[in-house]
Structure 1
Amino acid sequence: MTIAHIEALRDKLSKHKWSVDEELTGDDYSISAVWKLSRFYGSSHIYIEFEGLGDFAVLPLNEAYACHLQGDNSFSLYFGKLFKTFDAELDEFIAQLNGMQT
């Protein structure tokens, strides 16, 4: 993941009325960071975990390779090549989020 991936994810979330309310630290093992999200008009929160299992330590957020909905690893986004697979997968991930009740 690069800064560009983070910016693209933030931008797309914002365009679809999602707010990153908090940026939390990970678990010092396999989760680099956790974002607490809410809809601008919603009352509940969801959490997105950034996967960063490294060889010897958890990777920093800018080196995470994927993210997933907390508690559901099948609801995920892989940080592939920008402007190739990533853009389409980001759109699909956001569409899944938009389908959730918050």
Structure 2
Amino acid sequence: MEVTVYILRCADGSYYTGLTKQEVEARVWEHNNLPDEKSYTAKRRPVTLVFTETYDRITDAIERERQIKGWSRRKKEALIAMRYEDLPALSRRGHLVAKR
């Protein structure tokens, strides 16, 4: 079973990170169209898919989703832009060291 971790850019400029076992395009459609006023994305439509990673194991996808959700905006933007070399310096610990 494939599981996709994804990041959406919301209309207000914020990011939403999620995971899905269905086709990611179908999940994005749901974020943009389903009437769920309580969801984060419902109040920030339209949303745009800006990043995906696919995993074979759901446990790996859950771990990655949690990791990304804990990241700063700048670190998420580096990931979206595929600037992987910037990620270590943008970690909370690395960012504190760089400021000293």
TM-score, shorter chain, exceeding 0.5 = no
* Bigger share in helix: 2
- Alignment TM-score, normalising by the size of structure 2: 0.27
- Alignment TM-score, normalising by the size of structure 1: 0.27
Larger radius of gyration: 2
